[in-house]
Structure 1
Amino acid sequence: MEKNQITDDKKPAKRTHAKISILFKESYGRDFSHGSLHNISKTGAFLFINTANKEASKAAFSDTSKNAAESLVENTEKSATENSKQINLYIKLNKRNRKILAKVVWKTKNGYGLQFIRSSVQDKKLVDDLIYFEEQKNKTKQTILHNIFKKVA
Protein backbone atom coordinates (compact mmCIF):
# COMPACT_ATOMS: atom_id res chain seq x y z
CA MET A 1 0.00 0.00 0.00
CA GLU A 2 1.35 3.43 -0.91
CA LYS A 3 2.10 5.88 1.86
CA ASN A 4 -0.51 8.34 0.58
CA GLN A 5 -3.24 5.70 0.44
CA ILE A 6 -3.94 5.89 4.14
CA THR A 7 -4.81 9.07 5.95
CA ASP A 8 -2.96 10.18 9.07
CA ASP A 9 -5.30 8.33 11.41
CA LYS A 10 -5.06 5.05 9.42
CA LYS A 11 -8.52 5.36 7.84
CA PRO A 12 -9.12 4.45 4.19
CA ALA A 13 -9.37 7.30 1.69
CA LYS A 14 -12.76 9.00 1.28
CA ARG A 15 -14.87 7.47 -1.50
CA THR A 16 -16.99 9.41 -3.98
CA HIS A 17 -20.03 7.54 -5.24
CA ALA A 18 -20.05 7.65 -9.01
CA LYS A 19 -20.69 5.62 -12.11
CA ILE A 20 -18.37 6.62 -14.92
CA SER A 21 -18.36 4.75 -18.22
CA ILE A 22 -14.86 3.96 -19.41
CA LEU A 23 -12.86 1.94 -21.88
CA PHE A 24 -10.01 -0.16 -20.55
CA LYS A 25 -7.35 -2.56 -21.73
CA GLU A 26 -4.39 -4.39 -20.27
CA SER A 27 -1.29 -2.19 -20.24
CA TYR A 28 0.27 -4.13 -23.13
CA GLY A 29 -2.97 -5.39 -24.65
CA ARG A 30 -4.54 -4.38 -27.93
CA ASP A 31 -8.25 -4.91 -27.37
CA PHE A 32 -10.53 -2.54 -25.45
CA SER A 33 -13.51 -3.41 -23.25
CA HIS A 34 -16.27 -1.34 -21.71
CA GLY A 35 -16.68 -0.97 -17.97
CA SER A 36 -17.61 1.57 -15.35
CA LEU A 37 -15.78 3.01 -12.37
CA HIS A 38 -17.62 3.05 -9.04
CA ASN A 39 -16.68 4.37 -5.58
CA ILE A 40 -13.72 6.47 -6.63
CA SER A 41 -11.11 7.69 -4.15
CA LYS A 42 -7.75 9.38 -4.57
CA THR A 43 -6.08 6.00 -4.30
CA GLY A 44 -8.32 3.74 -6.40
CA ALA A 45 -11.74 2.64 -7.57
CA PHE A 46 -13.90 -0.38 -8.36
CA LEU A 47 -13.99 -1.39 -12.05
CA PHE A 48 -17.42 -2.90 -12.70
CA ILE A 49 -17.72 -5.21 -15.69
CA ASN A 50 -21.35 -5.82 -16.58
CA THR A 51 -22.21 -9.30 -17.88
CA ALA A 52 -24.13 -7.67 -20.75
CA ASN A 53 -20.95 -5.77 -21.65
CA LYS A 54 -19.00 -9.03 -21.61
CA GLU A 55 -21.47 -10.64 -24.02
CA ALA A 56 -21.52 -7.58 -26.30
CA SER A 57 -17.73 -7.52 -26.35
CA LYS A 58 -17.62 -11.21 -27.24
CA ALA A 59 -20.00 -10.62 -30.15
CA ALA A 60 -17.97 -7.67 -31.41
CA PHE A 61 -14.76 -9.69 -31.74
CA SER A 62 -14.10 -12.80 -33.79
CA ASP A 63 -13.77 -16.22 -32.16
CA THR A 64 -9.99 -16.14 -32.50
CA SER A 65 -9.41 -12.87 -30.65
CA LYS A 66 -10.24 -12.08 -27.04
CA ASN A 67 -11.33 -8.76 -25.65
CA ALA A 68 -9.63 -7.00 -22.74
CA ALA A 69 -12.16 -8.20 -20.15
CA GLU A 70 -11.75 -11.88 -21.09
CA SER A 71 -7.98 -11.53 -21.24
CA LEU A 72 -7.86 -9.80 -17.85
CA VAL A 73 -10.03 -12.50 -16.25
CA GLU A 74 -7.93 -15.26 -17.79
CA ASN A 75 -4.62 -13.77 -16.74
CA THR A 76 -5.67 -12.95 -13.17
CA GLU A 77 -7.05 -16.47 -12.73
CA LYS A 78 -3.80 -17.98 -14.01
CA SER A 79 -1.50 -15.94 -11.79
CA ALA A 80 -1.47 -16.45 -8.06
CA THR A 81 -0.69 -12.79 -7.50
CA GLU A 82 -3.22 -10.51 -9.12
CA ASN A 83 -1.26 -7.48 -7.97
CA SER A 84 1.05 -7.71 -10.98
CA LYS A 85 -1.74 -6.98 -13.51
CA GLN A 86 -1.82 -3.40 -14.75
CA ILE A 87 -4.52 -1.86 -16.92
CA ASN A 88 -5.03 1.44 -18.73
CA LEU A 89 -8.30 3.27 -18.09
CA TYR A 90 -9.52 5.67 -20.78
CA ILE A 91 -11.84 8.36 -19.43
CA LYS A 92 -13.47 11.36 -21.05
CA LEU A 93 -12.91 14.18 -18.56
CA ASN A 94 -13.88 17.78 -19.21
CA LYS A 95 -14.30 17.12 -22.96
CA ARG A 96 -10.85 15.53 -23.22
CA ASN A 97 -9.79 11.91 -23.35
CA ARG A 98 -7.49 10.93 -20.49
CA LYS A 99 -5.54 7.78 -19.63
CA ILE A 100 -4.97 6.53 -16.09
CA LEU A 101 -2.77 3.56 -15.22
CA ALA A 102 -4.08 1.27 -12.47
CA LYS A 103 -3.08 -1.96 -10.76
CA VAL A 104 -5.52 -4.80 -9.98
CA VAL A 105 -5.55 -5.31 -6.20
CA TRP A 106 -8.46 -7.75 -5.82
CA LYS A 107 -11.26 -9.23 -7.89
CA THR A 108 -14.86 -10.39 -7.58
CA LYS A 109 -17.29 -11.89 -10.06
CA ASN A 110 -18.53 -8.37 -10.93
CA GLY A 111 -15.23 -6.61 -11.41
CA TYR A 112 -11.91 -5.53 -9.96
CA GLY A 113 -10.58 -3.37 -7.16
CA LEU A 114 -8.04 -1.00 -8.66
CA GLN A 115 -5.24 1.08 -7.21
CA PHE A 116 -4.25 4.10 -9.28
CA ILE A 117 -0.58 4.26 -10.19
CA ARG A 118 0.47 7.88 -10.03
CA SER A 119 3.94 8.47 -11.39
CA SER A 120 3.69 12.26 -11.67
CA VAL A 121 1.92 15.27 -10.21
CA GLN A 122 -0.18 15.42 -13.38
CA ASP A 123 -1.55 11.92 -12.67
CA LYS A 124 -2.53 12.99 -9.16
CA LYS A 125 -4.28 16.11 -10.50
CA LEU A 126 -6.12 14.00 -13.06
CA VAL A 127 -7.63 11.79 -10.34
CA ASP A 128 -8.44 14.87 -8.25
CA ASP A 129 -10.20 16.47 -11.25
CA LEU A 130 -12.18 13.28 -11.85
CA ILE A 131 -13.40 13.28 -8.25
CA TYR A 132 -14.13 17.02 -8.34
CA PHE A 133 -16.30 16.79 -11.47
CA GLU A 134 -18.23 13.83 -10.06
CA GLU A 135 -18.85 15.61 -6.75
CA GLN A 136 -20.08 18.70 -8.63
CA LYS A 137 -22.50 16.54 -10.65
CA ASN A 138 -23.79 14.96 -7.45
CA LYS A 139 -24.24 18.38 -5.76
CA THR A 140 -26.17 19.68 -8.78
CA LYS A 141 -28.51 16.68 -8.69
CA GLN A 142 -29.02 17.10 -4.93
CA THR A 143 -29.81 20.80 -5.35
CA ILE A 144 -32.38 20.09 -8.07
CA LEU A 145 -34.01 17.38 -5.96
CA HIS A 146 -34.03 19.66 -2.90
CA ASN A 147 -35.75 22.43 -4.92
CA ILE A 148 -38.38 20.00 -6.20
CA PHE A 149 -39.17 18.80 -2.68
CA LYS A 150 -39.32 22.40 -1.43
CA LYS A 151 -41.88 23.34 -4.11
CA VAL A 152 -43.98 20.22 -3.49
CA ALA A 153 -44.09 20.75 0.29
Structure 2
Amino acid sequence: MEDTYTVPAPRTPLNLEVSFKRNYAREETKGTLKNISITGAFLEFEGGEVRANEKLNLVIIVAGRERKIAAHVIWTNSVGVGVKFMPVNNRDVQIVDDLIYFVENSRNDRRSVMDTIFKKSRIRSGKTKRASENSLFSFFGGPGNLIMFLRGCCP
Protein backbone atom coordinates (compact mmCIF):
# COMPACT_ATOMS: atom_id res chain seq x y z
CA MET A 1 0.00 0.00 0.00
CA GLU A 2 1.34 3.45 -0.94
CA ASP A 3 1.64 6.39 1.42
CA THR A 4 -1.05 8.87 0.37
CA TYR A 5 0.03 11.78 2.60
CA THR A 6 -0.58 15.13 0.94
CA VAL A 7 0.55 18.57 1.94
CA PRO A 8 -2.37 20.66 3.27
CA ALA A 9 -3.46 23.70 1.28
CA PRO A 10 -2.03 27.03 2.51
CA ARG A 11 -4.20 28.62 5.20
CA THR A 12 -5.23 32.26 5.36
CA PRO A 13 -6.01 33.53 8.87
CA LEU A 14 -9.20 35.53 9.31
CA ASN A 15 -11.98 36.36 11.77
CA LEU A 16 -15.20 36.12 9.81
CA GLU A 17 -18.60 35.71 11.46
CA VAL A 18 -20.66 33.02 9.75
CA SER A 19 -23.75 30.99 10.44
CA PHE A 20 -24.30 27.35 9.68
CA LYS A 21 -26.91 24.62 9.82
CA ARG A 22 -26.45 20.94 10.16
CA ASN A 23 -28.13 19.18 7.25
CA TYR A 24 -30.92 17.91 9.48
CA ALA A 25 -31.32 21.02 11.69
CA ARG A 26 -33.80 23.86 11.42
CA GLU A 27 -31.97 26.45 13.50
CA GLU A 28 -28.78 28.23 12.56
CA THR A 29 -25.71 28.31 14.77
CA LYS A 30 -23.30 31.27 14.77
CA GLY A 31 -19.57 30.78 14.49
CA THR A 32 -16.33 32.34 13.31
CA LEU A 33 -14.06 31.16 10.53
CA LYS A 34 -10.54 31.41 11.98
CA ASN A 35 -8.61 30.22 8.93
CA ILE A 36 -9.48 29.20 5.41
CA SER A 37 -7.96 27.50 2.38
CA ILE A 38 -9.37 26.58 -1.00
CA THR A 39 -10.19 23.12 0.40
CA GLY A 40 -11.52 23.84 3.89
CA ALA A 41 -11.55 25.96 7.05
CA PHE A 42 -11.49 25.98 10.84
CA LEU A 43 -14.87 26.96 12.26
CA GLU A 44 -14.93 28.10 15.89
CA PHE A 45 -18.28 28.13 17.72
CA GLU A 46 -19.98 27.61 21.07
CA GLY A 47 -23.05 25.62 21.90
CA GLY A 48 -24.16 22.38 20.41
CA GLU A 49 -22.16 19.36 19.49
CA VAL A 50 -20.96 18.68 15.98
CA ARG A 51 -19.50 15.30 15.14
CA ALA A 52 -17.00 14.19 12.53
CA ASN A 53 -18.61 13.25 9.21
CA GLU A 54 -21.60 15.59 9.70
CA LYS A 55 -22.58 17.78 6.79
CA LEU A 56 -22.95 21.53 7.32
CA ASN A 57 -24.34 24.32 5.19
CA LEU A 58 -22.27 27.47 5.79
CA VAL A 59 -23.65 30.96 5.18
CA ILE A 60 -20.92 33.53 4.54
CA ILE A 61 -21.56 37.24 4.06
CA VAL A 62 -18.84 39.13 2.22
CA ALA A 63 -19.17 42.70 1.01
CA GLY A 64 -22.90 42.60 1.80
CA ARG A 65 -23.57 39.49 -0.28
CA GLU A 66 -24.74 36.22 1.21
CA ARG A 67 -22.98 33.09 -0.04
CA LYS A 68 -23.75 29.48 0.83
CA ILE A 69 -21.40 26.54 0.63
CA ALA A 70 -21.69 22.92 1.73
CA ALA A 71 -19.03 21.47 4.02
CA HIS A 72 -18.16 18.15 5.63
CA VAL A 73 -16.78 17.96 9.20
CA ILE A 74 -13.38 16.25 9.14
CA TRP A 75 -12.33 16.67 12.78
CA THR A 76 -13.52 18.31 15.99
CA ASN A 77 -11.96 19.71 19.15
CA SER A 78 -13.19 21.63 22.20
CA VAL A 79 -13.49 24.99 20.41
CA GLY A 80 -14.59 24.12 16.89
CA VAL A 81 -14.35 21.92 13.84
CA GLY A 82 -12.22 21.46 10.78
CA VAL A 83 -14.37 21.34 7.66
CA LYS A 84 -13.72 20.32 4.10
CA PHE A 85 -15.66 22.27 1.49
CA MET A 86 -17.90 20.18 -0.73
CA PRO A 87 -18.26 22.30 -3.86
CA VAL A 88 -21.11 21.32 -6.12
CA ASN A 89 -19.89 23.39 -9.05
CA ASN A 90 -17.23 25.91 -10.10
CA ARG A 91 -19.26 28.75 -8.56
CA ASP A 92 -18.79 27.23 -5.08
CA VAL A 93 -15.02 27.04 -5.62
CA GLN A 94 -15.06 30.65 -6.84
CA ILE A 95 -16.88 31.78 -3.66
CA VAL A 96 -14.07 30.41 -1.48
CA ASP A 97 -11.37 31.73 -3.80
CA ASP A 98 -12.95 35.20 -3.81
CA LEU A 99 -13.19 35.18 0.00
CA ILE A 100 -9.49 34.32 0.34
CA TYR A 101 -8.60 37.05 -2.17
CA PHE A 102 -10.80 39.58 -0.32
CA VAL A 103 -9.18 38.76 3.06
CA GLU A 104 -5.62 38.85 1.75
CA ASN A 105 -6.23 42.03 -0.23
CA SER A 106 -7.80 43.78 2.78
CA ARG A 107 -4.83 42.79 4.92
CA ASN A 108 -2.37 44.09 2.31
CA ASP A 109 -4.32 47.36 1.97
CA ARG A 110 -4.20 47.91 5.75
CA ARG A 111 -0.51 47.11 5.84
CA SER A 112 0.21 49.60 3.06
CA VAL A 113 -1.80 52.22 4.99
CA MET A 114 0.34 51.47 8.05
CA ASP A 115 3.53 51.74 6.00
CA THR A 116 2.39 55.11 4.64
CA ILE A 117 1.54 56.38 8.13
CA PHE A 118 4.91 55.26 9.48
CA LYS A 119 6.76 56.92 6.60
CA LYS A 120 4.83 60.19 6.95
CA SER A 121 5.30 60.33 10.70
CA ARG A 122 9.06 59.75 10.34
CA ILE A 123 9.37 62.43 7.65
CA ARG A 124 7.30 64.98 9.56
CA SER A 125 9.02 64.51 12.87
CA GLY A 126 12.53 63.93 11.60
CA LYS A 127 12.96 62.51 15.09
CA THR A 128 13.58 59.21 16.73
CA LYS A 129 11.55 56.05 16.33
CA ARG A 130 9.85 56.80 19.66
CA ALA A 131 8.62 60.16 18.35
CA SER A 132 7.14 58.53 15.24
CA GLU A 133 5.41 55.92 17.43
CA ASN A 134 3.85 58.74 19.47
CA SER A 135 2.65 60.36 16.21
CA LEU A 136 1.14 57.05 15.20
CA PHE A 137 -0.62 56.69 18.55
CA SER A 138 -2.07 60.18 18.21
CA PHE A 139 -3.24 59.37 14.66
CA PHE A 140 -5.23 56.41 16.00
CA GLY A 141 -6.28 58.16 19.19
CA GLY A 142 -4.04 56.09 21.44
CA PRO A 143 -2.18 52.80 21.57
CA GLY A 144 -5.35 50.80 22.31
CA ASN A 145 -6.96 51.85 19.03
CA LEU A 146 -3.77 51.05 17.13
CA ILE A 147 -3.73 47.56 18.64
CA MET A 148 -7.40 47.03 17.66
CA PHE A 149 -6.59 48.12 14.10
CA LEU A 150 -3.64 45.75 13.89
CA ARG A 151 -5.67 42.84 15.28
CA GLY A 152 -8.26 43.44 12.59
CA CYS A 153 -5.73 43.31 9.80
CA CYS A 154 -3.30 40.75 11.16
CA PRO A 155 -5.07 38.01 13.15
What TM-score results when the alignment is normalised by the length of structure 1? 0.72
SS of the equivalent of 1:13 reads coil
Give the Å deviation of 1:151.
2.0
What is the CA–CA distance in structure 2 between the aligned matches of 1:27 and 1:94, rounded to whole Å? 26
Letter in 2 for 1:25: K
Residue of structure 2 equivalent to 1:108:
77
What is the CA–CA distance in structure 1 between the aligned matches of 2:93 and 2:63, rounded to whole Å? 16
Could you say which structure has the larger radius of gyration? 2
For the pair 1:40 / 2:36, whether they are aligned, the reply is: yes
Residue of structure 2 equivalent to 1:89:
58
SS of the equivalent of 1:137 reads helix
What is the CA–CA distance in structure 2 between the aligned matches of 1:17 and 1:145, rounded to whole Å? 19
Residue of structure 1 equivalent to 2:114:
145
What is the CA–CA distance in structure 2 between the aligned matches of 1:100 and 1:88, rounded to whole Å? 6
Letter in 1 for 2:24: Y
- RMSD of aligned alpha carbons: 1.6
What is the CA–CA distance in structure 2 between the aligned matches of 1:136 and 1:27, rounded to whole Å? 33
What is the CA–CA distance in structure 1 between the aligned matches of 2:120 and 2:63, rounded to whole Å? 32
What is the CA–CA distance in structure 1 between the aligned matches of 2:86 and 2:103, rounded to whole Å? 20
Letter in 2 for 1:116: F
Give the Å deviation of 1:115.
0.6
For residues 80-119 of structure 1, the C-alpha deviation after alignment (integer angstroms, 9 at most, x for no partner) is xx12x01111111232111111111111111001110012
State the 4+ residue runs in structure 1 displaced beyond 6 angstroms. none
Greater shift, 92-101 or 36-45, is seen at 92-101
What TM-score results when the alignment is normalised by the length of structure 2? 0.71
Tell me which of 8, 13, 17 is aligned to 1:12: 8
Unaligned runs of 5+ in 1: 1-5, 55-68, 77-81
For the pair 1:135 / 2:131, whether they are aligned, the reply is: no
Quote the sequence identity (%).
38
Give the Å deviation of 1:12.
1.6
Matches within 5 A, 1:2-81: 10-49=6-45, 54=46, 69-70=47-48, 73=49, 76=51
